[in-house]
Amino acid sequence: MKRRNKTTTVVLSILVILAVIAISLPKLLHTMGLHPEYDGEQYDLKGKKALIVTTSHGVLNKPGEIKGKKTGVFASEMTIPYYEFLDANMEVDLASIKGGEIPIDPQSFYYFLKSPQDKRFEKDEEFQNKVMNSLPVAEVDFNAYDVVFFAGGWGAAYDLSSEEVGQKVSAAYYDSEALFGSVCHGALAFTEARDTSGNYLIAGRTMSGVTQKQLNELGIEFTPKHPQEELEKAGANYKCNTRIIDPLATLTVVDEEKRFVTGQNQNSSHETAQLLLKLLNEE
């Protein structure tokens, strides 16, 4: 009887310890660097417009495969900039490569990865409606926006680096005063943009995107495009920060012309959006 009671006590103790760890995990990860708070300013940019562009690819599949784990945009890389722009009184539209429902990586809604903006999104019917009915990139005029922002996530590795997106970025760069932003895999949207001589538009520009080290640490080796590699191939001056594990690192950089603001990963979303607002406010 005593042995049974002792066993029960040990089991209960273990369960309590596991419960404490589970409850503390979100705060612990935040303290270590996940979704850091950014002490930015509150801007009033009423009359300005922002466009957030995401992937339409929702399956993490290897070459030749059709099935795979569900993926898409990493939620906070869309929700954080969305609310930064919206709270600055900007009009915010959502587009995706194909239009229609935007696939959101289900992992980004795990309780220990979810950002406050993700929770706000879950109660925001207007935002949810935009996600369900996003504009097709082919039908969107980038010139009509003051900020064009590309969100990341594994899905973006499959469809953001395209000739069509590159042409639209190039056209808006030359035909408007639009500012461009991205986080994580979103930077792939710039890798096919060309200047008037046919050279890569981002050659020589300081830019950031998710590190190869982070992809390796998360076991992602087979996606078709890797941001660090593609940015360097396009001649960008690639910058990043690194930590024991890069999913807890962050860096945001502004290019020399102050037209491109790029963030390293999901942790860079606040700062990237805030710096875009700052530049827009200074115009």
In a domain, 57, yes or no: yes
In a domain, 101, yes or no: yes
pTM of the model: 0.93
For residue 69, list its beta bridge partners. 60
**Average pLDDT, integer, range 193-200:** 97
Residues of the chain above pLDDT 90, percent: 82
Domain count, the chain: 1
> Which tens digits make up the pLDDT trace of 63-102?
778 888 999 999 999 999 999 999 999 999 999 999 999 9
Contacts for 173 with CB less than 8 Å, ≥ 6 apart: 180, 193, 201, 259
Query: For position 29, what pLDDT does the model report?
Result: 83
In a domain, 102, yes or no: yes
**CA neighbor of 71 nearest in space, from 96, 105, 37:** 105
In a domain, 28, yes or no: no
Query: For position 20, what pLDDT does the model report?
Result: 52
- The CATH number assigned to the domain holding 129 equals 3.40.50.880
**Average pLDDT, integer, range 234-258:** 97
Query: For position 5, what pLDDT does the model report?
Result: 60
**Average pLDDT, integer, range 123-152:** 98
In a domain, 23, yes or no: no
196 falls in which pLDDT band (50, 70, 90)? very high
Write out the two tokens for 96: 């995706």
Query: For position 183, what pLDDT does the model report?
Result: 98
Query: For position 283, what pLDDT does the model report?
Result: 82
**Plot region of 235 (φ>0 → left; ψ -120 to 50 → alpha; else → beta):** left
In a domain, 169, yes or no: yes
Q: Which residue has the higher pLDDT, 22 or 178?
A: 178
In a domain, 213, yes or no: yes
**Average pLDDT, integer, range 169-193:** 98
* 269-282 helix and 75-87 helix, angle to the nearest 10 degrees: 30
In a domain, 221, yes or no: yes
| Average of per-residue pLDDT values in the chain | 92
Quick check: 98 and 53 in contact, CB under 8 A? no
**Average pLDDT, integer, range 34-47:** 92
Query: For position 258, what pLDDT does the model report?
Result: 98
Question: Domain range spanning residue 189?
Answer: 47-282
CB atoms within 10 A of CB 42: 8
